[in-house]
């Protein structure tokens, strides 16, 4: 007897609901980046003997955004990769190919590649 005992219709339902949430996460990520950059630009500037175009709060927001943007991209790519792995493994399971299902599941568990991350960051115009 197989170690796999899944209900493909249930998997499809979970994938559908999760895809909706991930789609919203992508929109929120783009909005987050835009809004924090805007906040950084409007946080005031330093005045005095060495005027700066941006204040300390603005600099901190810009630095944080620069750090957080790739992290958010990682989350989005990882979630998409996990969903695709579930889809592929379930399809293989339905075809009776349990070895392929296990291989698809294992591939989905791997961290995103730099190329996968660059594709997401490039779509949003963000640079690391």
Residue-wise pLDDT for 29-88, tens only, equals 778 878 888 888 777 766 666 556 667 888 888 888 888 888 888 888 888 888 999 999
pLDDT at 1: 35
Q: What is the pLDDT of residues 16-29, one digit of tens each?
A: 999 888 888 777 77
Q: CA dist 16 to 28, 38, 104, Å?
A: 19, 34, 19
**CA nearest to 31, candidates 3, 14, 23, 93:** 23
Rounded CA-CA distance 83/107 in Å is: 11
**pTM across the whole model:** 0.67
pLDDT range class, residue 127, cuts 50, 70, 90: very low
Rounded CA-CA distance 66/40 in Å is: 12
Rounded CA-CA distance 70/121 in Å is: 7
């Amino acid at each position: 007897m197989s170690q796999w005992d899944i209900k493909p219709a249930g998997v499809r339902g979970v994938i559908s609901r999760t895809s909706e949430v991930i789609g919203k996460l992508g929109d929120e990520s783009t909005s987050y980046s835009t809004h924090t950059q805007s906040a950084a630009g409007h946080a005031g500037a330093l005045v005095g003997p060495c005027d700066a175009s941006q204040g300390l709060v603005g600099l901190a927001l810009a630095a944080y955004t620069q750090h957080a943007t790739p992290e958010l991209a990682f989350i989005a790519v990882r979630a998409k990769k996990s969903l695709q792995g579930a889809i592929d493994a379930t399809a293989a399971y339905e075809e009776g190919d349990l070895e392929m299902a296990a291989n698809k599941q294992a591939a989905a568990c791997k961290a995103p590649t730099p190329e996968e991350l660059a594709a997401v960051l490039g779509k949003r115009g963000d640079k690391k």
